[in-house]
Amino acid sequence: MNILTEKFTTPYHAAPFDQIKNEDYFPAFKELIQKSEEEINAIINNPDEPTFENVIEALAYSGEQLDVVSNIFFNLNSAETSDEIQKIAQEVSPILTGYSSKISQNEALFNKIKKVYDEREKYNLNGEQQMLLNETYKGFVRSGALLNEENKEKLKKINMDLSLKSLQFGQNVLASTNNYFKHITNKEDLAGIPEAILEQYAEEAKERNLEGWVVTLQYPSYIPFMTYAENRELRKEIALANGKKSFDGGEFDNQDLIKELLNLKQQKAELLGYTNYAEYVLEERMAKSPTKVIDFLNELLTKAKPYAGKEIEELKSLAKADGIEEMQGYDHAFYAEKLRKAKYDLNDEELKPYFPLNQVQDAVFGLSKQLFGLIFEERNDIPKYHEEVKVYEVFEAGSGKLEDESDHPEKTFKALLYVDYFPRKGKRAGAWMTSYKNQYQKDGENSRPHISIVCNFSKPTKDTPSLLTFQEVTTLFHEFGHALHGMLANTQYPNLSGTSVKWDFVELPSQFLENFCYEPEFLKTFAKHYKTGKVLPDEKIEKIAQSKNFMEGYQTLRQLGFGLLDMNYHTKVEELENKSVKEFEDEYTKAAQLYPANPETAMSPSFSHIFQGGYSAGYYSYKWAEVLDADAFQYFKENGIFNPEIAAKYKILLSSGGTKDPMELYKNFRGSEPKVESLLKRAFG
């Protein structure tokens, strides 16, 4: 018996992590692909007249177990991978891509879909059904259903190559990150670094059976070093190592892979009738066209650059006082922290004791309860993929008083939430939200989602709990915003549920929730010293609120640089025939550069968002969504940040997933379209 092909007998049919063996995956994928193909064949061979129910709905509900197993496997490949899992991923990815192409290019199936689509007027469909029909039809056309057989085969091969090469890109970045560490034996080299961080570095050394301290390129190790280390030469050395990830000509170099990936995407776009890959992607986004995106990014660049320039001049004057005539990128975090401390008398190490992870998590749970009536209860009997993971049942309160945990006579189950907070060798860098199972309704049952948040926060030590930097606090809120989008989902079909929305809309819920971290009224409820229980002093809370826009110009230009680079990669791929990745990167980030470009480093070879993740021709969406979130939060600010009526309207937006056009959803919530001015006002006053 293969545990992955049976109905899970765990609570809520949760993934049975404790029973899965690596050797289960490959046979399970093969069996479930076959089962899913049988479901597709049943739709194709149905002798009845094609209808919305027996074609479109049947297709939407097909392959459920295959989706679940794919989610389990690929989520583990990101959060708890191993050489064995990576090897299986290389074998399984082309099979799954081939299966997906086989369905999307099945002529008999598409003919049935097209017939229902062409006769859609006669079905009296509701809004969600119309959306499902439109998305299904478009999805098949965009996957090559209208191509001739020869071109269908070409597209199938391109998709397979893209799948494997993007997987390889991510594996190279992970290996390149893990391969580097800096062993330091002289404590003087660590001047300026706070004791808690030194303790972390010492623990890392101990794990490697070394004396002294070890700094790695994992963010909880790298960022504090760049922020606090007074030793400029060491800052430079470690920054160079970070900037050379997959860009050193070695085994894990990604430069050739970038060109191969971009050429494949261009070939795919042209096969499907588009000028370039960005045009293909943006057809299915709120932004609609590359021109509109580039105009949007350049408009923000023009407005933000003077502010960014002033910020950098302030830093340069601090650096000059230390004898540094030409400031470099590796000096930025160090002097930004100095300036932040001078301006706001804040530094991360001073604030961290007030933000122990458990308190921050309680705060975001409490906020979700106050705004949306959600309750979180830890479960210890639901399987986990690592001992550090925690699992929560999420309920929606009924008519009981929210203040009284015991009084919820009508609480209803909403979701499972997995949280996985600490770095490990098998976990990729960064933070993300994902799902193991989507929400949907079928046969009168509302099948609820299983959501996961994965981060890389500093581990607790034997004396100290995990203490978060303020940036990590906002990171947790960010990912929790995505999680709310998933947990509150309440749609009919799994492929319109939760975060299954236009890609440049998906960051609204995450970025929106970050705003609460800067509200004194809310901060006072949870910013309490982990030893004394004392609330962070009012003047510090006020300074956090004031510091919200600290280095906003610099951060904006940095994001715009990434967005412009991404958009140019996916509209001007032919230029890479005569340019190196480094030359291309330097040219198209030049307008947003505030420090001299370093000839030895490039960020593109580790730009996983666009070469491994789903942000190809979509990185601009972070800024696009900032316009939405600034405008949305402004609405709350004008009416009270915990306003129950506005929260109820926002909850509808979150629970609606992809059932409506995002602009329609937004206008239903806000009463008008979002205004760029809301972002500019928040950022620059």
Are 451 and 415 a contacting pair, CB within 8 Å? Answer: yes
Instruction: Give the pair of three-digit tokens for residue 513.
Output: 């929730």
Instruction: Give the amino acid at 430.
Output: G
Per this entry, what is the length of the chain?
Answer: 685
Q: Report the alpha-carbon distance of residue 362 to residue 374 in Å, rounded.
A: 12
Q: Report the alpha-carbon distance of residue 209 to residue 203 in Å, rounded.
A: 10
State how far Cα 225 lies from the chain centre: 24
Are 659 and 496 a contacting pair, CB within 8 Å? Answer: yes
Phi and psi at residue 513, to the nearest 5°: -70, -30
Helix orientation angle between 552-569 and 290-321, rounded to the nearest 10 degrees: 140
Query: Going by DSSP bridges, is the β-strand pair 412-420/390-396 parallel, antiparallel, or unpaired?
Result: antiparallel
Are 265 and 162 a contacting pair, CB within 8 Å? Answer: yes
Residues 6+ apart with CB under 8 A from 328: 236, 595, 596, 598
SS3 state of residue 391: strand
Given the residues 64, 135, 279, 479, select the one marked as catalytic.
Answer: 479
Separation in Å, CA 80 to CA 77, 113, 389: 6, 39, 11
* Residue bearing tokens 């893209």: 162
How many C-beta atoms surround the C-beta of residue 471 within 10 A? 12
How many C-beta atoms surround the C-beta of residue 184 within 10 A? 22
Phi and psi at residue 664, to the nearest 5°: -65, -45
Active site residue 403: no
Instruction: Give the amino acid at 527.
Output: A
**So which residues are the catalytic ones?**
479
